[in-house]
Structure 1
Amino acid sequence: MSPAKIKFGTDGWRGVIADDFTFANVRRVAQAAADFWRGQPGNGVLVGYDNRFFSEVYARLVCEVLAGNGIPAIYSSVAAPTPAVAYAVRDRQLRGAVMITASHNPPRFNGFKLKANYAGPADPELCGAVERLVDANPVQSVPFDGNVEIYDPRRAHLVAVKKLVDLKTIRAAGLRVVVDSMHGCGGRLLEEVLGGTTRTIRGDRDPLFGGVNPEPIGRNLGALCAAVKQSRAHIGLATDGDADRLGVVDDTGRYVSIQLVFALLLLHVLRHRGERGGAVVRSANCTTIMDRICQAHGVELVEVPVGFKYICQQMREKDVLIGGEESGGIGFRGHIPERDGILANLMLLELLAVTGKKLSRLLTELQAEFGRSAYDRIDMHLPLEKRDRFIAALKQQPPADLLGVPLARTNTLDGVKYIATDGSWLMFRTSGTEPIIRIYSEASTSGRVKKLLAYGRQLAETM
C-alpha cells in the first residue's frame, strides 16, 4: 500500500489526527522540510507546538528527523504561541521554524506549519518546494535525548512585545480585563504581562477546547461574554488555539466584530500613536470602513487575497503600518511580518488607556464618523468538486443586482465578491484548509447582511 499523498494548504499541511496526520506522515513531512533546510544559512530550526492531542510528541518526532539530517534542532520547552515561535526565527537568526498546530480548526485536526527565515508564514514557493520533496529521500532520525536543544521562545517574544506598547500607561489605567485563552497556548501570558486586575478563563490545556472550536468568534465566546458581565470588566480579550488571532468583547458583554476592532486599531495607530507613512493592508473580505479611514487620512490601502501570507508579503516588500484579515490576524509595523494575537490585544488595551473611553463608546464614535457597518460570515460544507464549479459559475454569471440594489462591480481577487451601488457586498470563497465554502457580507444594517447571506446560501444550495 502506497503512502498517503501529502497536500499542503495555506501555510503548511493539516490533517485529522490518527487518520492522515500520523507519526509516519509527520516524519515524512519533517524529512522533506529537512531536505529543504539542509544547506540553508541560519543557526538551526525551532519546533514549537500548541495544546492539541500529541502536539508535543509530534514536535519531538520532527526534532529527531531534523537532527538526523544534521540540522541543529531546537524544541520548545512548552506549548508556545505561533508568533513567539516566529519571533524566535528573527531573534536567533534561524533557518526557519515548524509549528505543530491546526490553529482554530476542530480538535480532531492537527497541522505542520512552516515559518520562513523572514519570521513569517511560508509563502507558496516554500510550501511547494517542501511538498515536492516529500518521499524524495528516506526518513533519517536520531534519538531526541542528547541531540536536541530545549528552549522557551515565549520569554524573548514577550520582551519584544512589551517594547511596542506603552505598558506603563496601560497598567496605570486600572482596566479590569478578562482574558479567554480558549484552552490554547496563549495560556496566562496576557495576565502575566498586565497583572493587577486581569484574570484569565479557559487558560489551562484542554485538547478538546471545552467542546468548542478554538476560534475567537461570537458563537464560541459565550463564556467570555458572561465573565465580562459578571465581573463588570472594561473589556474581554480572547486568543485562538495558537494565539496568533484575537477576539474581543466590549464593556457591555457583547462580542465585537473583528472588522470594527481592526478599524479601531488603524485609527489608534494613526491618531494616538502618531505613526505616519507606509500603507495599510487588508484582505479582500475585510470591512470597507478601512478604505474610508485611509482615504480620510491620505494613507495608501492595499487589498490582497485572503490569507496572512499575502499580508506578510506586503510587509516584507514595503513599509506597512498595519495589516489584517477577517479572521482576527493582525500584524504591526516594527514587529515581525506575522499576525500576533498577544500584541494585538495589548494594542487595543493601549487604545482604551490613552483615550480613557469605554470600548462601546469608541465603537459608536467610529461608526458615527465613518459610517455604520454590519458584517457576518457563514460556512457551508461543500465537496471539493462542487465548490470549485460553484465559484466558476458565479464568476461567469454575476447577478444584475443584490436583492434589489444594482450591482456596481465584481471583484475576483479571491473567489467572487459582488459589490452593490450602496456599498453592500456579498463574497464567496473556498477555504484553504477545509472542504467548505465561506460566504461573507457587509452592509449598513444587520438586517440586510442576514438577507444577503441567506441569498448566498440559497445560491450555494441550488448548485
Structure 2
Amino acid sequence: MIVPYRPYALAWQAIYAEGFTLDQIRRRTATLAVGLVSRGMSCLVAYDTRFMGALFARDVEAVLRSYGVRVALAAAPTPLPAVHHALDQRVADCALYVSACNQSYIYNGLALICNDPSGLALDPHSEAPPPQPFPLSGEPNPDSTRDLRGPYLDALQSIVDLDVVRRNSLTIFVDAMNGTTAGMLPTLLGEGGQTRAIEINRDPDPLFGRSAPDPFASSLVRLKKLVRESDSHLGLAISADGTALALVDKHGEQLDPAETALLLAAYLVRQYRQRGPLVVPAPAADSPVAGLPRIGAWEENTGLRIEGLNDPAQRLHQMIFHERNPPIIGATPNGQLIVGRYALYPDAILAGLLCAELVARSGGSLRTLVEAQREQLTKVGG
C-alpha cells in the first residue's frame, strides 16, 4: 500500500454498480458534509476521466452545498498535482477527489485530501441525505467552477526551464494514458519552439484501453514502438491521475523507477546545486541495476545519500511529516515521483518536464546518460 504524502485523509473505492452507486456516493458525501460544516471548512470537488466522473462530481457538489458547505467544482478533469497546487493556493480547505486514481476502469471512488481529518468521515450516514437531483442535463453554475489546470500550468512554467527544451529540436512522445494530463505537455513544450511533443492516448476513455492507467501496470507497447522506430529522443508515460511516470529511451526500453530517480537527482545536484536525501525503491529483479552494488560510489560522486530502499513510501511519509527534511527526489515502486524542492506530493508532469530538460541539456541523448549511470552502478572494483 502506498502511504500518501499529503495524505488521502480518507478514501473509499468500489466497483461500479456493485458498491460504487449513486446512493453510496450521496450518503458518504452527506457524512463528510456534516463534519465540514461543524469545522467551518470549505471543499474543492475535482474528478478524473472515469465513467460519468463529471456528473458524479456535480452531484457531490450539490450534496455538499445543500448542507451549507462552501464548495468549488473543478471545471474539467484534473490531475492530482493540480488539485494539490490549488490547495497550496488556498482555493479551499480540503479537496474531495472523485476517482479511483490508477486502479482498473471497473473502479471509482472518493478520496479526501486534507491535512487534518479530525471530525471528518466518509462512512455512510445512518440517515439518508435529502434527495438531490442528478444533473443529467444542463451546465454547472459558472460561479462555482474553478479552472485548476491553468494556474497549475503557470506554476510549472516558473519551475522548469522550458526554453532550453524548446530550442533543442527534440522529439518527445507523451502517452497520456487517456487520463487527466492530456494536452498539458504539448501545450507547455510546443509553444514557439523547435521541440515536438507528440501525444498519444490523449482522448478521454473511461475504459483506459481496458487496462489499469498506470505506466508500470501497462506494457506501453505503442509508446515503445513509436519511440524506437521514429528515432525520437524520449518517451514519457504519465498515469491517469498525473502521479506516476515512466521513461522510455530511444531503444524502446522502459527505465526502472529507481533509475529515473537517480538520473533526476544527479541532474538537480549538477545543474541546480540542490541537496537532500534521495528516497528510492529497490530496483526490480529484472532491472539492469538490480542490487545496486555501487551505491556507495554513486553517493560519493553526487554528494547524496540514498534511503528507503525497502519501504520508500513509509520513509517519505516519515521524512516529510515528522522530520521536515524534504527529499531531493522521492520515488515509489509504481513510479510516483516527488521533487521535494517544489512539491511534497507525487507530480509526474513536473518530473517529466525535468526529464525533458535533462535530455535537452545532455544533447538529446538519454541513452548515453543511462549507460553512464549503469556503468557507475554495476562496475566491479575500483
Q: Do the structures match in fold with TM over 0.5?
A: yes
Aligned amino acid, residue 241 of structure 1? A
Gap change, CA 1:353 and 1:320, over 3 Å in 2: same
Partner SS state of residue 121, structure 2: helix
Partner SS state of residue 247, structure 1: strand
List runs of 5+ in structure 1 lacking aligned partners.
1-7, 118-124, 373-463
Partner SS state of residue 328, structure 2: strand
Match in the other structure for 2:125: 135
Gap change, CA 1:141 and 1:315, over 3 Å in 2: farther
Gap change, CA 1:284 and 1:258, over 3 Å in 2: closer
Gap change, CA 1:285 and 1:208, over 3 Å in 2: same
Distance (Å, rounded) in 2 between the aligned partners of 1:141 and 1:363: 57
Deviation at 1:73, TM superposition (A): 1.3
Match in the other structure for 2:150: 155
User: Could you report, residue by residue, the CA deviation over 1:396-439 in whole angstroms, capped at 9, with x for unpaired residues?
Assistant: xxxxxxxxxxxxxxxxxxxxxxxxxxxxxxxxxxxxxxxxxxxx
Aligned amino acid, residue 34 of structure 1? A
Runs of 4+ in 1 over 3 A off after TM superposition: 8-11, 39-42, 125-129, 140-148, 282-302, 304-310
Match in the other structure for 1:108: 106
User: Could you report, residue by residue, the CA deviation over 1:150-188 in whole angstroms, capped at 9, with x for unpaired residues?
Assistant: 112011111111211111111112110011111111111
Alignment check: 8 A CA contact 1:84 1:153 kept: yes
Match in the other structure for 2:204: 205
Aligned amino acid, residue 340 of structure 1? D
Match in the other structure for 1:180: 175
Gap change, CA 1:152 and 1:304, over 3 Å in 2: farther
Whose strand fraction is larger, Structure 1's or Structure 2's?
1
- From 357, 366, 373, the equivalent of 1:366 is 373
- From 113, 117, 127, the equivalent of 1:126 is 117
Distance (Å, rounded) in 2 between the aligned partners of 1:51 and 1:338: 21
Aligned amino acid, residue 261 of structure 1? T
Is 1:279 the equivalent of 2:270? Answer: no
User: Could you report, residue by residue, the CA deviation over 1:241-261 in whole angstroms, capped at 9, with x for unpaired residues?
Assistant: 111111111011222222211
Distance (Å, rounded) in 1 between the aligned partners of 2:228 and 2:198: 14
Match in the other structure for 1:35: 34
Match in the other structure for 2:68: 70
Match in the other structure for 2:4: none
Distance (Å, rounded) in 2 between the aligned partners of 1:307 and 1:75: 33
Aligned amino acid, residue 95 of structure 1? D
Mapping for residues 162-311 of structure 1, pairs under 5 Å: 162-195=157-190, 196-217=195-216, 219-276=218-275, 278-283=276-281, 289=292, 292=296, 293-294=298-299, 296-303=301-308, 311=316
Distance (Å, rounded) in 1 between the aligned partners of 2:358 and 2:33: 43
Deviation at 1:305, TM superposition (A): 7.5
Deviation at 1:206, TM superposition (A): 1.0
Normalized against structure 2, the TM-score is what? 0.83
Gap change, CA 1:20 and 1:332, over 3 Å in 2: same
Distance (Å, rounded) in 2 between the aligned partners of 1:265 and 1:151: 33
Match in the other structure for 1:336: 343
Aligned residues: 355
Distance (Å, rounded) in 2 between the aligned partners of 1:129 and 1:164: 35
Alignment check: 8 A CA contact 2:9 2:112 kept: no
User: Could you report, residue by residue, the CA deviation over 1:52-77 in whole angstroms, capped at 9, with x for unpaired residues?
Assistant: 11211221122112212221111111
Alignment check: 8 A CA contact 2:327 2:339 kept: yes
Distance (Å, rounded) in 1 between the aligned partners of 2:125 and 2:282: 36
Match in the other structure for 2:83: 85
Gap change, CA 1:261 and 1:307, over 3 Å in 2: closer
Deviates more, 1:279-288 or 1:190-199: 279-288
Gap change, CA 1:368 and 1:10, over 3 Å in 2: farther
Deviation at 1:130, TM superposition (A): 1.9
Is 1:314 the equivalent of 2:315? Answer: no
Aligned amino acid, residue 175 of structure 2? D
Alignment check: 8 A CA contact 1:216 1:246 kept: yes
Distance (Å, rounded) in 2 between the aligned partners of 1:305 and 1:129: 32
Match in the other structure for 1:388: none
Gap change, CA 1:288 and 1:323, over 3 Å in 2: farther
- RMSD of aligned alpha carbons: 2.9
Alignment check: 8 A CA contact 2:258 2:331 kept: no
Gap change, CA 1:129 and 1:285, over 3 Å in 2: farther
User: Could you report, residue by residue, the CA deviation over 1:129-158 in whole angstroms, capped at 9, with x for unpaired residues?
Assistant: 525x54266425766755971112011111
Gap change, CA 1:35 and 1:352, over 3 Å in 2: same
Gap change, CA 1:208 and 1:164, over 3 Å in 2: same
Deviation at 1:21, TM superposition (A): 0.9
Alignment check: 8 A CA contact 1:48 1:100 kept: yes
- From 316, 325, 329, the equivalent of 2:332 is 325
Alignment check: 8 A CA contact 2:165 2:357 kept: yes
List runs of 5+ in structure 2 lacking aligned partners.
1-6, 285-289
Aligned amino acid, residue 68 of structure 2? G
Aligned amino acid, residue 84 of structure 2? A
Partner SS state of residue 117, structure 2: helix
Match in the other structure for 2:359: 352
Alignment check: 8 A CA contact 2:59 2:132 kept: no
Aligned amino acid, residue 187 of structure 1? A
Normalized against structure 1, the TM-score is what? 0.70
Match in the other structure for 1:45: 43
Distance (Å, rounded) in 1 between the aligned partners of 2:171 and 2:112: 37
